[in-house]
Amino acid sequence: MELYIGYLAGFLGTICWIPQTWKAWATRDTSGLSLAANFLFLLTVTLWLVYGLLVTDWPLIIANGCATLIVLSIVAAKLKYK
């Protein structure tokens, strides 16, 4: 049961960033986004990914691997469309 909760939490925590990423790239408007906050969150999910790899926890690996890519895309949009 714990594994299913981990996968569900990872899925929901990851997909919540997709609308923001889509909007940033579609509108090229990132004025409402904080580069510092998104960079810190990128660092956070990257560290969770590393931790998941170290302890071989697949919900952490999958969720934070996807979140790292999504938030990296937000940071890239913010840097590109200042």
Q: What angle do CA 51, 56, 58 make, to 5 degrees?
A: 95
Domain that holds residue 7: 2-80
Q: Residues with Cβ < 8 Å from 57, sequence gap 6 or more?
A: 6, 51
Instruction: For residue 37, give the CATH number of its domain.
Output: 1.20.1280.290
DSSP string, 4-42: HHHHHHHHHHHHTTHHHHHHHHHH---TTS-HHHHHHHH
The number of folded domains in the chain is 1
Q: How confident is the model at residue 2 (pLDDT cuts 50, 70, 90)?
A: confident
Q: Cβ–Cβ contacts within 10 Å for residue 59, how many?
A: 18
Distance from chain centroid for Cα 81: 19
Mind listing the pLDDT tens digit for each residue in 11-61? 999 999 999 999 999 999 999 999 999 999 999 999 999 999 999 999 999
Q: What is the pLDDT of residue 28?
A: 96
